[in-house]
Amino acid sequence: MTDLPSTGAPGPPRPTTTAQSLGEHTQLPRNLIKPAPPHVPTPPQLTRSPTLYATRHATSDTESDAPSDYGRTADAGDNTLDVIVIGAGQAGLALAWHLAHQGRRFLVLDAAPELGHTWRNRWDSLRLFSPAQYDSLPGMAFPAAADTYPTKDHVADYLAAYAARFELPVLLGTAVTRLEQQQGRFAVHTTQGVLHARQVVVATGPFQRPVVPTMAGELASGVVQLHSAEYRNPNQIPRGPVVVVGAGNSGLQIAAELAGDHEVTLAVGSTALALPQRLLGRDLFWWLTKLKLLAKTADSRLAKRMQAGGDLVIGSSLKAVRRRGVSIRPRVTGTTRDGMLFADGHREAPTTVIWATGFRSDYSWIQVPGLLADGQVVHQRGVTGVPGLYFLGLTWQHTRGSALLGFVEHDAAWLAAFMHPNASRSSHDTPAQALDRLALR
């Protein structure tokens, strides 16, 4: 049920190149998009011209719904941004919509060369589990009929159209290499230069680094190995037996797809709760929203039980893939140059192994003390103990829908309100005190 990571970016006309200093290392032209509102800083003119969504769509006929009072209160002489959002996927774009309507002076950064890049690079047959009517970001409905299931490319196209419509200032091709605090503000070191902001939101999503077990290194060099993030379609898989390791949504779908022309074994380490796509004539998401299960907060008793059960499997099952001819085995216990060993004593000699073993977070680039515990972000509803530093789009950040395309807007709206400089809280509040003061727990 997990939405996949994605990238994002912004909208129309041609930027001018009036140079303005934005920090000691970076020169920025002032305009990103017409009509050059004060809240929109533009990219560094450094070693190369960055990929700007606004520039690429300069002649687009896309309708613009950008607020007419963008940045009305911004101080154009101040080179420190109000907010930098790191990550232009669904979470980053949803927040950007709110920041734009607040008139904040902000910029969204993304390492990808295009909006929706991560979506476009998943396997070809991938579709969302959530029907189109549950896939919208704030202000713009997903352009597909109700009870249809968008493809990965439809999602990427939607993110591009969304950013264009609202003229969101996104700088693509700009990886953030280090984040640190300097003199009461944040220094965001990027491959384009250094930017500074009073607030930073990390919206890179929970799935950043593919996880492959160390046992993979014991397989013979002739065995083709892919992580599920690298899988595209059956044509890239050579002839011969295939072992898919991992029986989550990705593993089940890939195993079923390959079973048409390959001998496939699926290694099941743990069995997740599997639910059909439709129940009693209604889509599963109709029931999840009707029963308010996606709105249960992470600290509720039911939510804790849901988290303990792991990620839901939707529309697939072990029974279904077995019917397609997939051999089901228990977890892999070891690998040798001769093959793979399973917990039931079975041995398999595959020509290809697909590791559907998930992803992990990587925050090694964040050099801010007191943020992480055991590699995980310490936060309350995305608010960290570091004043001005926030997260958005994490799994179970507040509810089960926090990392899902059509549901992240609720967290984005809340966080934008919390971050606003006019929010009624003391600068000395701890995150817990601030949440209590705003009565927004």
* 45-72 per-position pLDDT tens digit: 333 333 344 433 333 344 556 554 433 3
Helix axes 90-102, 408-419, angle to 10 degrees: 40
Distance CA 234, CA 251 (A): 14
Q: At what angle do helices 431-438 and 408-419 cross, to 10 degrees?
A: 100
359 pLDDT higher than 70:
yes
Instruction: Give the other-Cβ count within 10 Å of 424's Cβ.
Output: 8
* C-alpha distances out from residue 248 to 43, 88, 127, Å: 40, 26, 15
CB neighbourhood size of 286 (10 A): 17
pLDDT tens-digit readout, 25-45: 333 333 232 233 334 444 443
The sign of the CA dihedral 244, 250, 256, 257 is negative
- pLDDT, residue 401, reads 87
Could you tell me which residues come within 8 angstroms of residue 69 by beta carbon, excluding any fewer than 6 positions away?
A: 103
Question: What is the average per-residue pLDDT within 215-234?
Answer: 95
The mean pLDDT of the chain is 81
What is residue 100's predicted lDDT score, i.e. its pLDDT?
95
Cβ 44 vs Cβ 173: under 8 Å: no
Question: Cβ neighbours of residue 61 under 8 Å, at least 6 residues apart?
Answer: none
C-alpha distances in angstroms, 144 versus 132, 141, 156, 232, 409? 6, 8, 13, 24, 19
- Residue 30's pLDDT is 32
- Length of the chain as a residue count: 441
pLDDT value for 341: 96
DSSP state of 215: G
Query: What residue spans define the domains of the chain?
Result: 19-208+361-438, 212-273+309-358
Helical ranges in 177-300 per DSSP H: 249-258, 284-290
Q: Which residue type sits at 223?
A: V
CATH 3.50.50.60 fits 212-273+309-358, yes or no: yes
Q: Which two tokens stand for residue 285?
A: 């998401």
Task: Specify burial of residue 154 (Cβ count, 10 A radius: 0-12, 13-18, 19+).
Answer: buried
User: What is the DSSP-derived secondary structure letter of residue 294?
Assistant: G
**Topology alike, domains 19-208+361-438 and 212-273+309-358:** yes
Superfamily (CATH) of domain 19-208+361-438:
FAD/NAD(P)-binding domain (3.50.50.60)
In the block, which residue shows the tokens 């309350």? Answer: 380
Q: What's the predicted TM-score (pTM) here? A: 0.82
pLDDT higher than threshold 60 for residue 8: no
Backbone φ and ψ of 140, nearest 5°? -155, 115
For 76, what's the count of Cα atoms within 13 Å in the CB-facing half-sphere?
11
At residue 393, does pLDDT exceed 80?
Answer: yes
Please enumerate in sequence order all residues whose Cβ is within 8 A of that of 399, keeping only pairs 6 or more positions apart, or say none: 294, 295, 296, 297, 298, 303, 407, 410, 411
Cα separation, 388 vs 419, in Å, equals 8
pLDDT class of 21 with cuts at 50, 70, 90: very low
Beta partners for 272?
A: none
Q: Which of 155, 159, 165, 151 shows the shortest CA–CA distance to 110? A: 159
**How many other C-beta atoms can be found within 10 angstroms of the C-beta atom of residue 123?**
18
Cis peptide before 35 (omega within 30 of 0): yes
Give mean pLDDT, residues 75-91: 83
- Higher-scoring residue by pLDDT: 433, 281: 281
- Backbone dihedral region of 19: left (phi > 0), alpha (psi from -120 to 50 degrees) or beta? beta
pLDDT of residue 432: 53
pLDDT band at 220 (very low <50, low <70, confident <90, very high): very high
Is 9 or 123 the better-scoring residue by pLDDT? Answer: 123
| Bridge partners for 334 per DSSP | 341
Q: Which of 284, 264, 289 is nearest to 274 (CA)?
A: 284
Q: Does the pLDDT at position 299 exceed 60?
A: yes
Give the residue from 11, 21, 80 showing the smallest Cα distance to 46. 21
Residue spans of alpha helices (H) in 205-268: 249-258
The answer to whether 326 and 255 are in contact (CB under 8 A) is yes
Question: Distance (Å, rounded) from C-alpha 262 to C-alpha 255?
Answer: 9
> What average pLDDT does the segment 368-397 reach?
91
- Does residue 441 or residue 264 have the better pLDDT? 264
